[in-house]
A and B are shown apart, each in its own frame.
Chain A
Amino acid sequence: MERTRAPFAALREALHAAEERTRLPVARLLLLVLLLSVPLWPMVDSRWLRILVLVGIFVVLGLGLNIVVGYAGLLDLGFVAFFATGAYTYAILASPASPALQADLNWWLAIPVVLALGAAVGVMLGLFVLPLRGDYLAIVTLGFGEIIRILLLNVRGLTNGAQGLFNIPRPELGGWVLRSLDQWYWLLVLSAFLIATAVGRMRASRMGRAWEAIREDEDVAAGMGVNTVKYKLMAFAMGASIGSFGGLVFAGFFQFVNPSSFTLAVSINVLSIVVIGGMGSTPGVLFGALILIGLPEVMQFSETERLLSVINPAVPFADTTDWGRQVASARFIVFGVLLVAVMALRPEGLFPARRPQARLPERHESTA
């Protein structure tokens, strides 16, 4: 440990050492504890938690899309379809406003239903788009997402059309109802942690290596004996399953769904999270969601407005009397500029994915 260049590097090495001693993912567990403790921090009030829940939903979606885009290299611009599948499946089966198939389904019991149905929808889409690659795949998946949204709007006998489905029940388990914001936040942190761990395992497995091979060159992968059809469908199934779970959380949290929540903008946001974070990188998804979903929301806070008013620049010829409010209401412009700026400065994303490496216990000089 004599090569301590920066405190950060020292911390990383200490964590590595601890992980090797205890054979536990110490760094990840510490991060989990840190994230779980957030609602206990003094400055965190309900506004912050509400944003963090939203960020959490997008982290889940990002983890799902990361499999499809980041691992398997299949550019999907219609990820919202899977999000909608999960949200509407639960809404239709559980909302008292549901015009058909109302079954009073419990949220917790809906989890396996939604995961399975999401995977099925993923495989269905996958079968449709098997021969397509690159940008052709992108535009067809985009079309698929739009078709789903228009169907939600028009198949009124099932979805209640533009009015949507309301009074969707909260998760309830033996009389205990998931109600408060911090409980939702904890649920999201734990499920995102589980999903991230599962996804990490998949990536390190034979399946993950097959995905990587397909991403790098599909023809060569097929030539080397990788069953590209099977693994492409698996990527869609896994990604869709996770995306549907995000939808299930969305429906249970907001207790209301209607087609206007399932637009192309969602697909674009999730894709941006994955690419800005660094394709195929799990910490990238976390930070991508924090920046792209969290920052625009925080910009709406009145404190931000006041803060921006304090640093009011004297712009010549411009009316800056309402500077803070002006900047705060420009948050989508900031979102767009942020995408351009991050890509210009770090085209690989903020946290470029490192290839999975098998570390042998004997060799202590880690290459990481």
Chain B
Amino acid sequence: MFWFDQFVNGLTVGSVYALIALGYTLVYGILQMINFAHGEIFMIGAFAGWAVLLLLGGSAIAGPMLIVALLAAMIAAALASSFSAVVIERVAYRRLRNAPRLAPLISAIGVSIALQNVALKLTGGRDRVYPRVFPTGEVGLGDFSVGYIQAFLIGSSVVMMVGLIVFIQRTRTGRAMRAVSEDRATASLMGVDVDRTIVTTFIVGAALAGVAGVLQGLWIPNIRGTMGFLPGIKAFTAAVVGGIGSVPGAMAGGYFLGLSETVGRELLNELPGVSLPNEWRDVIAFSLLVIVLIVRPTGIFGERVSKRA
């Protein structure tokens, strides 16, 4: 059914946005900085997963080997992304923690531009294509059925988000992250190792984005050096719409943005005399952002007003 398919497409895009948005919101919550290079972390994950799938046999992967290969690809992506994020944090952000507000942003933009172009150079500017290993087919009942890949993508992102919430709420490290984001100085006085907690935050956010890269690669096979840019911006938009700094907000914002880009555009097309081609989804996303922020300047789940001019 058309509308159900659109809804599933929205959820799929939304899952990717949500996973990336979590990284933005976690880092923002702790450092109050826009980690502009986060989209490139997503891109690195996609490439790492692609490399692992090729090493394990490419399109020849089938049967039980598929599960091993997918797990390996996702773990490799999480590792590669986390490692990059740690290096970036050390090289480009750490010494700027007390610098003027825009310095870390510009540094992050620099990292983003450099990484995009390194990737473009290494690939000679040509796309790489994920091997089509995932079985095609649909699960569900009649009109209400979902492609395997989309079901897998939506399912694994939900699992990861539940895992993240448990990690933040139930573990010692998660508590340290919450403490540092609440008040860095006080947390430090209470014996929390602030540097280490910040690095952990980067690792967690990057791992989610890296796996999101693999998931998107399985769904939309073409990957390239600039692939992280637009999803990065969209995911940041999602994080802001949800209320930046808020973990449930990033998830809700991701799904909200994904659904409004797909279902919302089709709904508008139902209006008489309206015909919006696909590229208008960006207009919809950004208009929505403007409207949400004007109606509710702290975002949907906003925890605090950003007072820093």
Interface set of A (CB-CB < 8 Å, partner B): 69, 73-75, 128, 131-136, 138-140, 142-144, 146-147, 150-151, 153-154, 214-219, 264, 268, 271-272, 275-276, 279, 329-330, 332-333, 335-340, 343-344, 347-348
Contact = CB atoms under 8 A, between A and B. Distances in A.
Interface of B: 28, 32, 34, 91-92, 95-96, 99-100, 102-107, 109-118, 121, 233, 236-237, 240, 244, 277, 279-280, 282-283, 285-287, 289-290, 293-294, 297, 305-309
Contact of B109 (A134, A216, A272, A333): A272
A136 B285 CA distance: 15
A133 B302 CA distance: 14
A186 B305 CA distance: 47
Contacts of A268: 109, 113
B107 A150 contact: no
B121 A336 contact: no
Contacts of B287: 143, 147
Contacts of B309: 73-74, 133-134, 214-218
Contacts of B121: 329-330, 333
Given A330-B121, A343-B96, A344-B92, A143 B111 contact: no
A147 B298 CA distance: 22
A343 B107 contact: yes
Given A146-B233, A153-B279, 4 more contacts: A147-B287, A332-B117, A333-B117, A335-B114
Given A143-B237, A275-B102, A332-B113, A339 B107 contact: yes
Given A131-B294, A340-B114, A344-B95, A136 B306 contact: yes
Task: Indicate the member of A69, A74, A214, A272 with the most B CB atoms within 10 Å.
Answer: A272
Q: Interface majority SS on A: helix, strand, loop or mixed?
A: helix
A131 to B, nearest CB: 5
28 contacts: A69-B102, A73-B309, A74-B309, A135-B32, A135-B34, A136-B293, A139-B240, A142-B286, A144-B286, A144-B290, A147-B282, A151-B283, A215-B309, A272-B106, A272-B110, A330-B117, A332-B113, A333-B118, A335-B113, A336-B112, A336-B113, A336-B116, A337-B110, A338-B110, A339-B109, A343-B110, A344-B92, A347-B100
Contact of B293 (A132, A215, A216, A336): A132
A275 B110 CA distance: 12
B290 to A, nearest CB: 5
B237 to A, nearest CB: 6
B102 A279 contact: yes
Contacts of A279: 100, 102
Nearest to A336: B114
Task: Indicate the member of A128, A214, A276, A344 with the most B CB atoms within 10 Å.
Answer: A344
B297 A132 contact: yes
Given A131-B297, A134-B306, A143 B289 contact: yes
Task: Indicate the member of B104, B110, B306 with the most A CB atoms within 10 Å.
Answer: B110
Given A139-B289, A150-B283, A154-B279, A340 B110 contact: yes
Nearest to B118: A333
A338 B92 CA distance: 11
